[in-house]
Homo-oligomer: A and B are copies of this chain.
């Protein structure tokens, strides 16, 4: 009865007891790794233990029994609840976006006014270095606060959150990523970063914020606040929660860019494995509500209550087809801009990669991170100041739309054009570059600005502050795009190309596409943000070119960061050249198996064994009639989902009690979801260890399996399409021979020289 016999695997060796957990056999044959010796295995990285979400856990007996009880009417109630939740997600996401927008606008306005007054004062009487100091100190102190809360309270709130949400939707649970605390830090952090004048945007973090809101609402409680509203208990499982998180992410995109369809496509592109019409429709609903809420509230706030002209945090302004149409001859030029964007994007990513490596190696202490953030803030202010100071590009203030015109050394009635770009929130700078009339900037200004901002933005991304890379990318692109347009107009003697704003738009698309490499969703987001369907075609071409060119050199920024963190991320398809690999070669083996009636001690020992490389354990049935061919156990069931639950002590304890009286209820699972206490935290007495436990209630009675001859793409497809966490590999006699986990699949990657195997963080 003891867990000792472990010959070569479960079927061959397992007599009656469970087989021993063991490490991957297949990993011993190491394939070449990308970035050899470069991934630093310091404590911080390795301390991240990623768990997989399990979309298939709703099939354990307890859930199944509930599903069977559910009738038509109950289903309708559940369905209506889903819609209500989506509406709430939309409203709350919209309101959070409003909050961020209004606070940023006011605080940034205050800061710029103070600095402007100071500059105006010192311009006349000399001593502008005081202004520089004031600006730098203001920035640095605001950023310090923003960085401290992120670094010391919730490090997962750093950055845009898009890589984290991508991982979550892909099925990897990053600790703390959808907690309320993260949301609060994220929102405060992004406000402080933008107000602190960093080269960042507030749009990316909206996606993360929307996701957290969705996760919170759909569970009907906050574990951080220890409040349980006792509603929406039906949705306390991975698959439902994930669906709502996609809706939240979409609502975030929608609020950020006023792009409801773009939001839906973003969620689908990043998250959907199995397309479900009703789910998509709900996601769309949440997105629409979100942009509508933002629009209404901001319209009221701006005084013109009913005009609904602010669908997103950033609006590109109206691109009129009549005024700024494009012609077919321009399309090759746009494609060329895509190439430039791809190259610049790849450069950005490569620089950022080195920087990130440096940061992982040397700047992993929180206080160092805060100091770096302050340094960047101060340098940003200094660079801006010097650029403005040195610029001699004066423009008439008449009829321009500049918010904080800095006169500096310009004549009266004129303003410094460089200040439009540097002395402003990045969102406003982007819109100015799109829509300022021709001649508002001289080429020198644009060139210098592009160069400086490129390096600043690159340095800024990856700081321990909460901030996005969308807007800086757009800004860099808009600047060189406009420069490109002006040069083109100059070269062709201004024949047909009138408006540099059009080129600024294409440049912005090219640069953003070159950095993030999003495709379909980004096209639609840009299309919706410009409010012009006709621009869709050139934007699509530009983004596609930028992606192709960029991919030739280096990965997209988000994918790069995901890979740097060794997340077991599954792409859409198995690598094309992997058809020769079979499940047998990919799987983890031997597998720890359990029997339907098992000794509690054995179960506790297995669950406590952290060296086990999977969380699901096949429950096998030993058939007394077929022992002759060495098949000790034959797969009957795998308790994938429920075993995770059982791996938590509360349940082992209660499960023991069940032998006496109390039966474990579905409610117990739901109340504990998703933070199950670790098995080590409970004590199982020796008496209890000798009890027997019936696992049939917690297991999935009909797990998905694959034969061991199945090819890797086939296993991959099954895994991806069904959102699995474990897949049991069986032989011809239906005996368990191995287990495929997300990590086993994520290891294989198509590199430049064929199939590569990655090293991943512990699952």
A contacts, CB < 8 Å to B: 59, 64, 67-68, 70-72, 75, 258-261, 264-265, 268-269, 272-278, 280-281, 284-285, 288, 291-292, 295-296, 306-309, 311, 321, 325-328, 519-520, 523-524, 527-528, 531-534, 536-537, 540, 544, 572-573, 576-577, 579-580, 583, 621, 623, 625-626, 628-629, 634-636, 701-707, 709-711, 713-714, 717-718, 720-722, 730, 732-734, 750, 754
A308 to chain B, nearest CB (A): 6
A391 to chain B, nearest CB (A): 37
B325 adjacent to A307 (CB under 8 Å): yes
A59 adjacent to B260 (CB under 8 Å): no
A71 adjacent to B284 (CB under 8 Å): no
Residues of B within 8 A of A705 (CB): 705
Whether A311 touches B533, Cβ cut-off 8 Å, given contacts A296-B328, A732-B621, is yes
Whether A70 touches B718, Cβ cut-off 8 Å, given contacts A288-B536, A306-B327, is no
Residues of B within 8 A of A711 (CB): 59, 64, 67, 702
Bound CA–CA A718/B544 (angstroms): 33
A67 adjacent to B579 (CB under 8 Å): yes
Residues of B within 8 A of A579 (CB): 64, 67-68, 70
B281 adjacent to A576 (CB under 8 Å): no
Bound CA–CA A704/B711 (angstroms): 12
B277 adjacent to A306 (CB under 8 Å): no
Bound CA–CA A635/B711 (angstroms): 18
Residues of B within 8 A of A634 (CB): 732-733
Bound CA–CA A658/B324 (angstroms): 67
A296 to chain B, nearest CB (A): 6
B718 adjacent to A707 (CB under 8 Å): no
Residues of B within 8 A of A730 (CB): 734
Whether A714 touches B59, Cβ cut-off 8 Å, given contacts A72-B754, A636-B732, A702-B706, is yes
Bound CA–CA A524/B281 (angstroms): 11
Which of B70, B285, B577 sits near A70, CB closer than 8 Å? B577
Whether A278 touches B572, Cβ cut-off 8 Å, given contacts A68-B580, A72-B754, is yes
Closest partner residue, chain B, to A636 (CB atom): B732
B577 adjacent to A75 (CB under 8 Å): yes
A491 to chain B, nearest CB (A): 21
- State the 6 A-B residue pairs at the shortest beta-carbon distance, nearest first: A734-B734, A702-B710, A721-B721, A67-B579, A75-B576, A306-B327
Closest partner residue, chain B, to A755 (CB atom): B72
Q: Contacts A70-B577, A260-B533, A269-B280 known; list 14 others, CB within 8 Å.
A: A59-B711, A261-B265, A261-B524, A273-B275, A277-B519, A285-B540, A285-B544, A288-B537, A306-B325, A306-B327, A307-B321, A307-B325, A702-B707, A733-B734
A528 adjacent to B520 (CB under 8 Å): no
A304 to chain B, nearest CB (A): 11
* Pairs A–B under 8 Å by Cβ, sample size 7: A70-B577, A259-B533, A261-B265, A278-B573, A626-B733, A701-B709, A734-B734
Closest partner residue, chain B, to A331 (CB atom): B292
A68, A544, A734, most chain B CB atoms within 10 A? A734
Residues of B within 8 A of A261 (CB): 261, 265, 524, 527, 536
Residues of B within 8 A of A714 (CB): 59, 702
A540 adjacent to B284 (CB under 8 Å): yes
A95 to chain B, nearest CB (A): 16
A277, A325, A533, most chain B CB atoms within 10 A? A533
Residues of B within 8 A of A306 (CB): 325, 327-328
Residues of B within 8 A of A311 (CB): 533-534
Residues of B within 8 A of A277 (CB): 269, 519-520, 572
Which of B284, B523, B537 sits near A523, CB closer than 8 Å? B284
Residues of B within 8 A of A629 (CB): 625-626
A381 to chain B, nearest CB (A): 36
Closest partner residue, chain B, to A532 (CB atom): B531
Bound CA–CA A59/B709 (angstroms): 12
Bound CA–CA A588/B726 (angstroms): 29
A753 to chain B, nearest CB (A): 9
Bound CA–CA A308/B327 (angstroms): 8
A461 to chain B, nearest CB (A): 24
A722 to chain B, nearest CB (A): 6
Residues of B within 8 A of A524 (CB): 261
A335 to chain B, nearest CB (A): 14
Closest partner residue, chain B, to A78 (CB atom): B576
Residues of B within 8 A of A523 (CB): 284
Closest partner residue, chain B, to A284 (CB atom): B520
Residues of B within 8 A of A292 (CB): 537
Bound CA–CA A528/B486 (angstroms): 31
Bound CA–CA A280/B703 (angstroms): 30
Closest partner residue, chain B, to A621 (CB atom): B732
Residues of B within 8 A of A733 (CB): 623, 626, 634, 733-734
Residues of B within 8 A of A276 (CB): 572-573
B572 adjacent to A520 (CB under 8 Å): no
Bound CA–CA A519/B285 (angstroms): 11
Closest partner residue, chain B, to A289 (CB atom): B537
A285, A288, A628, most chain B CB atoms within 10 A? A288
Residues of B within 8 A of A531 (CB): 532-533
Whether A274 touches B721, Cβ cut-off 8 Å, given contacts A308-B321, A711-B64, is yes
A535 to chain B, nearest CB (A): 10
A471 to chain B, nearest CB (A): 20
A192 to chain B, nearest CB (A): 31
B718 adjacent to A709 (CB under 8 Å): no
